[in-house]
Amino acid sequence: MPFSEEEFDSLQTLGHEHRGVEFKCSGKLTTMEFAATIVRAILGMSNRRDGGLVVIGVEDNNGRLEWKGMLPDDYATWNNNDLADKVAIFADPSVNFEMANIKKENRDFIVIIISEFEDTPIFCKKDFGQKLRKGALYCRSRHKPETSEVATEEDMRDLIELSTEKQLRRFIRMANAANISVMTGQQKDEADNTEFEKQRKSLQSNISDKIRSRGYWEVVIRPKDFVKERIPDFSKLLPIIKNCAVSWRGWDFPQVVDNELLSNFDGINQSVSFMKFNEEWAFFQSGQFIHYCGFYNDWGESEDGQLTDGHPSRKLDYIETLIRLFEIYELAARLAITEAGSERMCVYTRIADLEGRQLYTPDPMRIMMRKFRTNMPEFVKDYTIGKESLVSDPKRHALEVARQLFLRFDWNITIERLYEIANSIPFLLRG
> Any idea what the CATH number is for the domain that residue 46 is in?
3.30.950.30
Domain end marker among 150, 174, 205:
150
Please check whether residues 128 and 208 belong to one and the same domain.
no
The per-residue pLDDT for range 69-79, each reduced to its tens digit, is 999 999 999 99
| Percent with pLDDT over 90 in the chain | 58
In a domain, 161, yes or no: no
Rounded Cα–Cα distance for residues 241 and 289 (Å): 9
Would the pLDDT of 38 be above 70? yes
Three-state DSSP at 182 gives coil
Q: Which amino acid is at 300?
A: G
Mean pLDDT of 40-56: 93
Would the pLDDT of 430 be above 60? no
Alpha carbon of residue 249 to chain centroid: 5
12-21, 82-91, 112-121, 418-427: lowest mean pLDDT where? Answer: 12-21
In a domain, 173, yes or no: no
Residue 305, pLDDT score: 45
The pLDDT confidence band at residue 207, using thresholds 50, 70 and 90, is: low
Domain end marker among 90, 124, 150:
150
> What is the count of structural domains for the chain?
2
Mean pLDDT over each residue of the chain, to the nearest integer: 87
Three-state DSSP at 291 gives strand
The residue ranking higher by pLDDT, 336 or 305, is: 336
In a domain, 22, yes or no: yes
Report the predicted TM-score, pTM, of the whole model to 2 decimal places.
0.71
Residue 191, pLDDT score: 43
Would the pLDDT of 159 be above 70? yes
Residue 183, pLDDT score: 54
Long-range pairs for 97-103 at CB < 8 Å and ≥24 separation?
Answer: 97/42, 97/46, 98/2, 98/3, 98/426, 98/429, 99/2, 100/2, 100/3, 100/426, 102/3, 102/5, 102/8
Please check whether residues 226 and 140 belong to one and the same domain.
no
In a domain, 170, yes or no: no
The per-residue pLDDT for range 232-255, each reduced to its tens digit, is 999 999 999 999 999 888 789 999
In a domain, 176, yes or no: no
Distances, alpha carbon 232 to alpha carbons 45, 86, 287, in Å: 33, 48, 10
Question: What residues pair up with 60 in beta bridges, in sequence order?
Answer: 65
Would the pLDDT of 217 be above 50? yes
Residue 182, pLDDT score: 59
Rounded Cα–Cα distance for residues 333 and 244 (Å): 9
Would the pLDDT of 1 be above 60? no
The pLDDT confidence band at residue 94, using thresholds 50, 70 and 90, is: very high
In a domain, 163, yes or no: no
Residue 185, pLDDT score: 45
Residue 190, pLDDT score: 47
Please check whether residues 231 and 123 belong to one and the same domain.
no
Residue 250, pLDDT score: 73
In a domain, 123, yes or no: yes
In a domain, 172, yes or no: no
Would the pLDDT of 362 be above 80? yes
Mean pLDDT of 9-34: 86
Rounded Cα–Cα distance for residues 229 and 225 (Å): 12
Residue 19, pLDDT score: 82
Residue 90 structural domain:
5-150
The per-residue pLDDT for range 324-361, each reduced to its tens digit, is 999 999 999 999 999 999 999 999 999 999 999 999 98
The pLDDT confidence band at residue 289, using thresholds 50, 70 and 90, is: very high
